[in-house]
Structure 1
């Protein structure tokens, strides 16, 4: 039996009230009382506190009926901002969002080095600039969450990043020496899965998200919570061996799944095939549209290798929703049908197989959402997808971020 004093109960009620306001977007006190199941007096006290803190605002709803216009409550989305960062192999993406997870600034910086100290310095400089941009709001920058393409422990230390060859780095502590805002470090696939849950699959409590860009990762949500494993390393399915004695992997094994089914490896194969080192997604799209036989042959093999890993994942976790985050899959007509064509096992059970609409924004969107959840202290966060994603400002690292 869970027990607690008055302040503890008040905190729980506050969380539920705030969560309900966010989930509904706009709601009256009377409806809030009905949904949460608290009496009007309790609602009134809590709402008064939230108004004083400027976390919520009041507006009058337009209506054509007789009588007073109802006073509606909604989140004060501009009273603070969250910074999400996707620290990938060849670039770093920054997205600053309001308290509803809608991006207000976005920027990507190319990375030409794997030197840890250089990247820490770059991150520190950029985060400070974003802090300054948020300084006029009531709460300023409410938190920073950084997505890492590697193993991140429950202690938020970075234990291994294969593509940068980083080992045992305490990025959070190193940044905290210069940054005042709250900082959290998380695996990028976990953040992508969290974004899918928060923005798209609100009612799916058993969700898997496979990220397929520079490598392959698996974000796992089971019973509504991120599944991280004993140390926090669960989900490194890109390093699941599908070919014994196969290609050597930077992780130390051979025949890892991401060597055969990640976008980066497919693009490298196509670049070699076409003798075109600067291959782009537009090139791939055109080759698919032209039904280039050599490219289609590589893609058929890509789908087969992808399905091998997915079959293993499905048998391990029996997911409700299995989401594949890949730009190349979006280009391929009937991609889902092609994948299903390789899933023959009668043991495999899942409810839904789909391609993510979030794309490469998933990690930073999940990072922003996690910072918001931590700041608002709500048990569950349900946000609406932004009606329009911001185009990224591509910078060489010497300029400043412009409002978009």
Structure 2
């Protein structure tokens, strides 16, 4: 089958936008050489993108070794539009606004929220509307919204949420109709993987593990997000680590997240210490002070996480496994302690690291997803 000319032009335009988004700044000559389009085609497409304000000229670059005129450099126009990214936790709502280059302009956290099926859509509408009051002026305004779901998501629908009742709730449709922009629902670990991947040029196969109310993994294979047959890949929180162990909302027994999610860690710490108001920083502070309940619980968490990381390494053989959790951020040795327990000749070649963007990683992953959709590209470098 032969592509018609408009389709070929669209593909070439997408190639150029993607190159500029990932290689800033860029010249017309460089783009022509790197993506294999002739100079006339590149110049024509660049002119069109400039007229539509997707890219901008930023001055002259260095001359080539042959001399001649200095090239005019190009970069993505960050103020062509902006996106919103929302992390919908089991007891909080976190929202971030980003320009199209990934640079953030505002973030607001709503902690200790009651995430109720009956009110969450109206709550999100109010939060977004209020947040938009501070939005910057851009050419195309709001271009997309991503909502991170702590559960299983397939084809923009919520399939299963163990710690809040949002299954089959049409959040995307309701928000898209209200704000007249595309809205994407995505598993929070998948967004974490997109964020970690967008911060490096050298890693092509990574696993990003999210430890929050549950435990999940985002999988990048050959630079592509792997979702599985029904979009349910990476649900390592429901990997059985204790045969006939604790019951899990998924219907199984002995699942990983029943032993090392932050929610479970907090519940156990409160029970053992009698401190019903304790939060994760309290546990980590107690751990650093050598207090036995915290030390024992963190040690157990590391042991179970090491089992999971070993299994992941055997299944996918990634270059790096990233860990993202409040615990791993507050205990800098957390990832190293997991690494030390990976002793097989396969697993010990895999590097275990703290997630690059820390507590904002999921939000930046959501921003990247919405931006890539708007620009119709498959990868972009983040500038958080």
TM over 0.5: yes
- 1:116 is aligned to 2:121: no
Residue 98 of structure 1 corresponds to which residue in structure 2?
99
Structure 1 segments (4+ residues) deviating >6 Å: 62-67
Q: Does 1:197 align with 2:197?
A: yes
Partner of 1:174: 174
Q: The residue matched to 1:117 in structure 2 has which SS?
A: coil
**d(CA) in 1 for partners of 2:293, 2:357:** 29
Query: Matches of 2:260 and 2:371 in 1, distance apart?
Result: 33
Paired with 1:331 and 1:50, the residues of 2 have a C-alpha distance of: 44
Q: Deviations over 1:192-211 (max 9, x none)?
A: 11111112x33322211110
How many residues were matched structurally? 382
How far apart, in 2, do the equivalents of 1:128 and 1:249 lie? 37
Counterpart mapping for 1:5-404 below 5 A: 5-61=4-60, 70-131=71-132, 133-134=134-135, 136-153=137-154, 155-199=155-199, 201-332=200-331, 334-346=333-345, 348=347, 350-384=349-383, 386=384
> What is the rounded CA distance, in whole Å, between the counterparts of 2:62 and 2:356 in structure 1?
35
Kindly indicate whether the alpha-carbon contact (under 8 Å) linking 2:146 and 2:183 is maintained by their aligned counterparts in 1.
Answer: yes
Return the offset for 1:289. Answer: 2.8
- Matching residue of 1:4: 3
Structure 1 SS opposite 2:178: coil
1:149 CA displacement = 0.5
Please, which runs of 5 or more residues in structure 1 have no aligned partner?
387-404
Q: Report the Cα distance in structure 2 between the residues aligned to 1:62 and 1:349, rounded to whole angstroms.
A: 44
Separation of aligned partners in 2, 1:371 and 1:128:
18
Q: 2:273–2:293: 8 Å Cα contact kept in structure 1?
A: no
Greater relative contact order structure (CA < 8 Å, 6+ sep): 1
- TM score, norm. by length of structure 1: 0.87
SS of 1:144's partner is strand
Deviations 1:108-158 (A, max 9, x none): 1235433213110011223334456548421110101111001111x2111
CA distance in 2, matches of 1:126, 1:8: 39
Counterparts of 2:35 and 2:311 in 1: how far apart (Å)? 41
Distance in 1 (alpha carbons) for counterparts of 2:114 and 2:22? 42
Tell me if the contact between 1:315 and 1:349 (Cα under 8 Å) persists in the aligned partners. no
TM-score (normalised: structure 2): 0.92
SS at match of 2:143: strand
* Deviation of the 1:64 alpha carbon: 11
Cα pair 1:80 1:134 within 8 Å, conserved: no
**More displaced 10-residue stretch of structure 1: 140-149 or 266-275:** 266-275
Residue matched to 1:395? none
Cα distance between partner residues in 1 of 2:122 and 2:281: 34
Structure 2 unaligned blocks of 5 or more: none
Is the 1:322–1:350 Cα contact (8 Å) retained in structure 2? no
Q: Contact 1:135–1:141 at 8 Å: present in 2 too?
A: no
Deviation of 1:212 (Å): 0.5
> Conserved in 2, the CA contact under 8 Å of 1:15 and 1:379?
no
State the 1:328 CA deviation: 1.6
Deviates more, 1:256-265 or 1:183-192: 256-265
CA contact (8 A) 2:191 2:365 kept: yes
1:247–1:255 Cα contact (<8 Å) kept: yes
Determine if contact 1:26/1:74 at 8 Å carries over to the other structure: yes
Please state how far the C-alpha of 1:31 moved relative to its aligned partner: 2.3
Task: For residue 8 of structure 2, give the secondary structure of its aligned residue in structure 1.
Answer: helix
